[in-house]
Amino acid sequence: MGRKIYIEGKFVPEDEARVSVFDHGLLYGDGVFEGIRVYNRRVFMLDAHLKRLYNGAKVIRLDIPVTPDELKEKVCETVRVNDISDGYVRLVVTRGKGDLGLSPSKCSDPNIIIIADTIKIYPDEVYHKGLKLVTVSTRRNNPDSLSPQIKSLNYLNHILAHLEVLHAGADEGLVLNDNGFVTECVVDNFYIVLDGAVITPPTNSGALNGITRMVVFQLCRDLGIEIREEQLSLVECYTADECFLTGTAAEIAPVTFIDDRPIGPDGTPGPVTIKLMEAFKEFRENHGTPID
């Protein structure tokens, strides 16, 4: 049986879910979204995801037609309807149907779409052997042009970078900003470990303040691991003791090669990364909004 999709205020079978060809989310990438995990029948960090969604919508002057509490219940209901115990939710708010002109003023009814399904980005062996990264030539959008804190439907910058990763036969890519510093991976936040401290690029350099990134900061504080934001050059990444990335779908995954250079003494996941991976597994099982 196919999934039930929440769209236009009701649940419909996935093969009947439709958006208008005049929806400005389709025509112009005008809208916002969140990717959210479900663990043990709990929607992980749902309040944080909704806060970011509403903040992004506010910036682009998109009025979400329901309250955060109402949307929270709809997300949980979508997970329940699809009987998802461990999975992934894609929550999308588009500007809605307009005309072929650019102006959002012609769009009067924003469209809320909620999809609940399962997801697996990397095979299990990656979490034991690590990921291979390449540096891509596509630069991250300048934050002064499009803030990385807005998870907009316009993902072409990320797609162009991902095409380079596919062509190189790698697992993920490092994306630089206009000044040549690392911002993040194509769709994940990036970290190095140096002398026992975790270092990650600052959000004002072009990195998204990811929800899993927030959890890593909390876990580091709980575990007594120093964590700080600093601009990172490729040289610092190549010579780090450990590297890892985080994301809603990827969780915490070790990085063992960058541009064919082994990370650490032998190109295997390091102790700080492993400690954080284990702590995250425990954290995720006990945090979240119950769907039942």
Domains of the chain by start residue, with CATH:
4-117 (3.30.470.10), 126-285 (3.20.10.10)
C-alpha dihedral, 201 to 207 to 209 to 212, nearest 10°: -80
Nearest to 225 by CA among 265, 252, 195: 195
Give the amino acid at 187: V
The tens place of each residue's pLDDT in the chain, 292 residues long, gives 689 999 999 999 999 999 999 999 999 999 999 999 999 999 999 999 999 999 999 999 999 999 999 999 999 999 999 999 999 999 999 999 999 999 999 998 999 999 999 988 888 899 999 999 999 999 999 988 889 999 999 999 999 999 999 999 999 999 999 999 999 999 999 999 999 999 999 998 899 999 999 999 999 999 999 999 999 999 999 999 999 999 999 999 999 999 999 998 888 899 999 999 999 999 998 889 999 8
Among candidate residues 4, 97, 132, 151, the one labeled active-site is: 151
Look at residue 107 in the predicted model and tell me its pLDDT.
94
Q: Catalytic site residue 151? A: yes
Distance CA(44)–CA(66), nearest Å, equals: 21
**CA–centroid distance for 75 within its chain:** 17
Residue 90 has phi, psi (to 5 degrees) of -110, 115
Distance CA(50)–CA(154), nearest Å, equals: 19
5 close to 114: Cβ distance less than 8 angstroms = yes
Nearest to 205 by CA among 224, 184, 227, 222: 184
Which residue reads 């992980």 in tokens? 44
Number of other CB atoms surrounding residue 166 within 10 Å: 9
Look at residue 117 in the predicted model and tell me its pLDDT.
95
